[in-house]
Amino acid sequence: MALSVESAVKVVLVVLLALAGLGIWLLPGARGGTRRRIDGRLFVTTCGVGMLCSAAGLVVVFASPRHAVEWHLWEAAAMPLVLVYAYWIVVIRRAPEAEVLDEKQAVDMTTAGALAWGLSIPVMGAAFVLQEQGLFDGRLWFPCYLFATLLVYFSITLYRFERG
- Of 72 and 94, the one with the shorter C-beta distance to other proteins is 94
Minimum CB distance to other proteins, residue 105 (Å):
7
157 near other proteins, rule: CB under 8 A? no
Interactions with other proteins, residue window 28-57 (CB under 8 A): 37, 39-40, 43
Print the SS3 string covering 16-55.
HHHHHHHHHHHHHHCCCCCCCCCCHHHHHHHHHHHHHHHH
> With CB under 8 A as the contact rule, which of the stretches 2-10, 96-104, 113-121, 148-156 interacts with other proteins?
96-104
For residue 134, count CB atoms less than 10 angstroms from its CB and return exposed for 0-12, middle for 13-18, buried for 19 or more. Answer: exposed
CB of 129 vs other proteins, minimal distance in Å:
38
Taking the CA of residue 36 as centre, how many other CA atoms within 13 Å lie in the half-sphere pointing to its CB?
10
- The one among 52, 59, 67, 102 contacting other proteins by CB under 8 A: 102
